[in-house]
Amino acid sequence: MTDSAAADLTGLETVLGADRVLRDPGTLARYSHDDAEWADFETPLAVVLARTTDEVAAILRWADGAGVRIVPRGAGTGLSGAANAVANSVVLSLELMDRVLEVNVDERYAVTQPGVVNDALRAAVAEYGLWYPPDPASSSISTIGGNVATNAGGICCVKYGVTRDYVLGLTVVLADGSVVELGRRTAKGVAGYDLVGLMVGSEGTLGVVTSVTVKLLPLAGRTERAVIGYFPSLVAAGDAVAAVSRAGILPAALELLDETCLRAVDDWMHLGLPSGVDTLLLARVDEPGAAGDRIAAEVGELFAAAGGADVEIATDPDEIDRLFQARRLAYPALERLGPVLTEDICVPRGAVPEMLRRIQATAAANDVTIANIAHAGDGNLHPLIIAPEGDLSAEARAKTAFDAIVDDCLALGGTVTGEHGVGLLKLPGLREELGDRVVEMHRAVKAALDPAGTLNPGKAF
């Protein structure tokens, strides 16, 4: 760190308080990367904890003048390296901005700070009989700001959509420290370019979000059932997914877990999951009354026709929660087996069986363990490549497998990320997917809003 940079950091301490400009080695190491440890990262100059929009603006004005890069960060649960520190950077943590500011029952929206945890927002609006649908598997630990940054999806997005579908408005601090209000609080509105949509999924490269206005739905009116089927292979489960799609059925969730995931979760949490099962397919149907019963029965029939065994329909809320809890715990359970390189590809639903077949072939060709979980209902697959700790050869094979899976995804008409974002890990695949001219368009937008490259440089495109 240069003397001038050190002096400027001291100036930030005067504005924020020394307790919110952190420089000790342990903190710098902890905040230097998100959960994507496979992606490159640097040690930041400092970690700054902001509490207000004005403080964020002051930090960005300082960075603009000092020539220091800013890496915005929520809870650090990202899986693509989007929050990884870069050279000559300060990590700007928004974790202390953790209040739900308003819940408007009549207009069905809430205004929240970015550091509010997803499940905390859901609980807060539930008290008013309202529901915030986006539900990433990390909903108990990931923040709304991070969800906005990556345009997070989740278990129910097959029917209810992703984060962008629920963001009405944003307060954003731009790279020069100016503050803008984007979007609306009305049920409809088409004025101007969709700058809210542009910011959602921009991974902190275009501005720092300091408040989010989200659309809400009524909490009541849904009756949940779970349809469970056990399949002899990944490909057979993929066939069932394709069949559900062809039938025109839109379940509230359609999730896949393979045997490796099931065993890892049960060995850890002892949920009483079945043993000797190759692949579990788990659907949720939430239409009320006879319509929901009919749809659940049809899903069960499609499961059985594709080779599913012991197909059953569960209506007990505790049983449904237990099964979906297993899905949410799959990633942390697998982390206990070794470093996990997480894929996040999305293919057309009809291509799910072939993509799963190719993933298995890639695992065999590269002698790596690949566990599979998926938001299978919308073709969003998460092959999890596991490498033993410290095995450099296995790590190299894992990276080769990672690239091969991206190539196969694109060959099948897919996209390199369905919900985790691009960050650092998906940059090569994204450029192949978009092409040179579209990448130039991205860069033009970045240059217009952040000409000095202050905000999260090198990420997202």
Q: Taking the alpha carbons of 28, 31, 35, 38 in that order, is the dihedral positive or negative?
A: negative
Cα(14)–Cα(350) distance, rounded to whole angstroms? 58
Identify the pLDDT of residue 461. 87
Helices 392-411 and 352-366: angle between axes, nearest 10 degrees: 150
Cα(180)–Cα(252) distance, rounded to whole angstroms? 35
Q: Looking at residues 275-292, what average pLDDT do you find? A: 95
User: Which of 176-190, 329-343, 435-449 is the least confident region?
Assistant: 329-343
Identify the pLDDT of residue 272. 86
Cα(399)–Cα(113) distance, rounded to whole angstroms? 36
Is it the case that residue 14 has pLDDT exceeding 90?
no
Q: Name which of 100, 102, 94, 81 is nearest 37 in CA terms.
A: 81
In the structure, what pLDDT confidence band is assigned to residue 48 with cuts at 50, 70 and 90? very high
Identify the pLDDT of residue 147. 98
Identify the pLDDT of residue 319. 87
Q: Return phi, psi of residue 61, to 5°.
A: -65, -40
Cα(359)–Cα(406) distance, rounded to whole angstroms? 10
Is it the case that residue 1 has pLDDT exceeding 80?
no
In the structure, what pLDDT confidence band is assigned to residue 4 with cuts at 50, 70 and 90? low
pLDDT in tens, 137-180: 999 999 999 999 999 999 999 999 999 999 999 999 999 999 99
Helices 259-269 and 317-328: angle between axes, nearest 10 degrees: 110
Question: Which positions ≥6 away from 346 have C-beta within 8 Å?
Answer: 378, 379, 380, 381, 409, 414, 415, 417, 418
Cα(326)–Cα(230) distance, rounded to whole angstroms? 15
Written as six digits, the tokens of 238 are: 């993929």
Identify the pLDDT of residue 6. 58
Identify the pLDDT of residue 11. 75
Cα(135)–Cα(145) distance, rounded to whole angstroms? 14
Identify the pLDDT of residue 5. 61
Identify the pLDDT of residue 9. 84
**Consecutive H or E run containing 235:** helix 234-246
In the structure, what pLDDT confidence band is assigned to residue 57 with cuts at 50, 70 and 90? very high
Identify the pLDDT of residue 338. 86
pLDDT in tens, 210-254: 999 999 999 999 999 999 999 999 999 999 999 999 999 999 999
